[in-house]
Structure 1
Amino acid sequence: MNGQLKHDSLTAEQVESFNQNGFLIIDIGLDDATIDSAISDMEIAIEEERDGRALWPGIRIQDGWKHSDAIKNIALNASAFDALAQLFARTPLAFQTLNFPVGTQQKAHSDTIHFNSMPSGFMAGVWVALEDVSLDNGALVYYPGSHKWPEYNMQDVGMGIGYDNYKHYESFIEARIAESNISPFYAELKKGQALIWHANLVHGGSKPRMANKTRFSQVTHYYFKGCKYYTPMNSTPDNIAWRQPTWIDEKETLSDKLVRMAKQQAKKLVKRF
């Protein structure tokens, strides 16, 4: 992220919309070159193998920022940081990227089952469309206002901690949606647009109307300064599964790292001879 946070990049109406609905669609000024480079890096990563097995099985690439400058630059986009800082009144800290070549069709959930903070509420996601997104290729689906629900955990579901019981959490959320009568919102974004959502907002992936269509996208998850961080799915009131996130920062790009490693290797060769 370059420069100082502006903290005033959004209008009062946009802030109010986020507070009421739990999400906001904005233009973060991404250029086509960055987007196209991110897609190219994703395509390379998807084809990559190690010991004859796919490095990224399935439909998502986790923490691609460690290997792609373009993915990292999207995660550190200044406009997204400014908007997050204004919405949460704290400095955002990017800690995870997820990249998808197609729609996920993921069942409805809230990110607060996966990530949370103390004090609570200081986690957010930013979903960036790397190509036009519609119902044809699988738009994300959000439930406006659901961020005001309680932060449900495995104890609320009546199950023990751990991913083995996650399907029961999904069923719990489906029932909660049905009884709430909230109408879903399908996020149809243009290439380069971003959707910011509150961590407790219930969301998922819709089934695409057309098969075999790509839906390149990137999600970056953010915590905020001045908090402690943990994994609710693996936590009980008496035993918190604390997290120590690796922050995504711009101290060293991948290119810089390669140069530094090359210089270190050259020094070793000089010493050897």
Structure 2
Amino acid sequence: MKETVEIVPKTDEKPEVDLAFWEQNGYYVLPKFLSDEQVDAIVNETEEAWKNRRDDIVADNQIYSPTQKRVRNYLDRLSEEERTERYVMNDLFLVSDPVRSVSLDPKLVHVLRELLGTEPVLCQSLNFKWGSGQGMHQDTLYLPPPNERDMIAIWVALEDIHPDSGPLRYMPGSHNIPVYRFSNGKIRVIPGEVSGWDDHIAQHTEQMGLQEQVNHAKKGDVFIWHAFLLHGGSPIQNWDLTRKSLVCHYYSKSDLESVGGASQFDHGGYWWPRSPQLPR
């Protein structure tokens, strides 16, 4: 598997953006884009939230939960047994200024705006301590934007990522695979019809000669991907290793307004001050 091709931004206030690379590959890398201070503030925020059992933050146990029972609840409502599992914190951006300051960093928002082609709005965040263990997928299966292609996402390395911790993997060019529609004509996944999506993706990745790559990220790197880019977590080889990261998804501002959402400006961009996801 090939390593990530890095696009190095200039150090001025508004980095130049290679749109041709983006359109061809569907991803973009900003190496060492964030300072250690910015990154450490997010790590400290998550650790304090978990330690203090915050009552305004919702978390999900991860896919490889030993009990195979999916749990979503506020941190203060998790039982002692449930707290032994590995969790991802949902939407910390709603209550955390350090998360918003990073995800709405003016230079980052500039890049996202150029790539998306319109004003982005932060609509979701996920804080991981461990590798996701998630198979290759498109975000549109679970978080379809109102305008199908008007979504962009980032993955921020909050530490140097060890190769055995399950690094982010992705498939350049896969955002150009023809859109698969389920029986209702929509792109949101219907669980009983996943095999059709699997066959569609396998057929087109072979026809297009697409190959998987791995993001060997360093602390402060930002990986950006298109809504339809295939990506996931590499197999975890050492379960004792952490893979601390922040994932953020952005709708277009016009999309959010089309569904009645109101955005708020902070730092260098817009975010959606909505309610957290409800416990299961």
TM-score range for the pair, normalised by the shorter chain length: 0.7 to 0.9
Q: Are the aligned partners of 2:149 and 2:228 in contact in 1 as well (CA < 8 Å)?
A: yes
Q: Which amino acid aligns with 1:179?
A: E
Tell which structure's C-alpha radius of gyration is larger. 1
| Kept after mapping to 1: 8 A contact 2:181/2:187 | no
Alignment of 1:88-127 (within 5 A): 88-127=116-155
After TM superposition, give the deviation of residue 92 of structure 1 in Å. Answer: 1.0
SS in 2 for 1:155: coil
- Within 2, Cα distance between the matches of 1:92 and 1:57? 34
Matches of 1:143 and 1:88 in 2, distance apart?
A: 19
1:60 correspondence with 2:91: no
CA distance in 2, matches of 1:172, 1:247: 38
TM (norm. structure 1) is 0.72
Q: Distance in 1 between matches of 2:261 and 2:135?
A: 25
Gaps of 5+ in 1: 1-5, 230-241, 252-273
1:43 matched to 2:70: no
Equivalent of 1:165, from 169, 189, 192? 192
Give, in whole Å, the separation in 2 of the partners of 1:23 and 1:140. Answer: 12
Aligned residues: 231
Distance in 2 of aligned mates of 1:161 and 1:9: 34
Cross-structure match for 1:175:
202
Give the aligned partner of residue 130 of structure 1. 158
Is the CA contact 2:159–2:245 (under 8 Å) kept in the aligned structure 1? yes
Structure 1 residue corresponding to 2:167, chosen from 118, 128, 139:
139
Q: CA deviation at 1:77?
A: 1.6
Contact 1:7/1:83, CA 8 A, preserved across alignment: no
**Larger helix fraction of residues:** 1
State the SS of the aligned residue for 2:87. Answer: coil
Q: Which residue matches 1:10? A: 16
Which residue does the alignment assign to 2:62? none
Contact 2:139 2:227 in 1 (8 A): yes
C-alpha deviation, 1:162, in angstroms: 6.2
Q: 1:37, 1:81 → 2: CA distance? A: 19
Alpha-carbon distance between aligned partners in 2 of 1:190 and 1:160, rounded to the nearest angstrom: 33
Q: Which amino acid aligns with 1:209?
A: Q
Sort the Cα spacing of 1:59 and 1:37 in 2 relative to 1 into closer, same or farther, 3 A: same
Q: Give ranges in structure 2 of 5+ residues lacking alignment.
A: 1-11, 54-74, 268-280
Question: For structure 1, which segment, 132-141 or 182-191, has the greater mean C-alpha deviation from structure 2 after superposition?
Answer: 132-141
How much has 1:172 moved relative to structure 2? 4.1
Q: Equivalents in 2 of 1:105, 1:58: separation in Å? A: 11
Partner of 1:264: none
Provide the rounded CA distance (Å) in 2 between the counterparts of 1:105 and 1:63: 20
**Residue type of the alignment partner of 1:50:** D
Assess if the C-alpha contact under 8 Å between 2:140 and 2:187 holds in 1.
no
Cα-to-partner distance string for 1:199-249 (whole Å, 9 max, x where unaligned)? 0111111113322101110011011132368xxxxxxxxxxxx95556464
SS in 1 for 2:249: strand
SS of aligned partner of 1:50? helix
Q: CA deviation at 1:179?
A: 3.4
Residues 1:216 and 2:244 are matched in the alignment: yes
Sequence identity, in percent? 28
Q: 1:250 maps to what in 2?
A: 266
State the Cα deviation string for residues 51-110 of structure 1 (Å, max 9, x = none): 453589643111011232211212212222100111222111111111100110111111
Partner of 2:29: 25
| Contact 1:28–1:80 (8 Å) recurs in 2 | no
Q: CA RMSD in A?
A: 3.2
Whether contact under 8 Å (1:102, 1:137) holds in the other structure is: yes
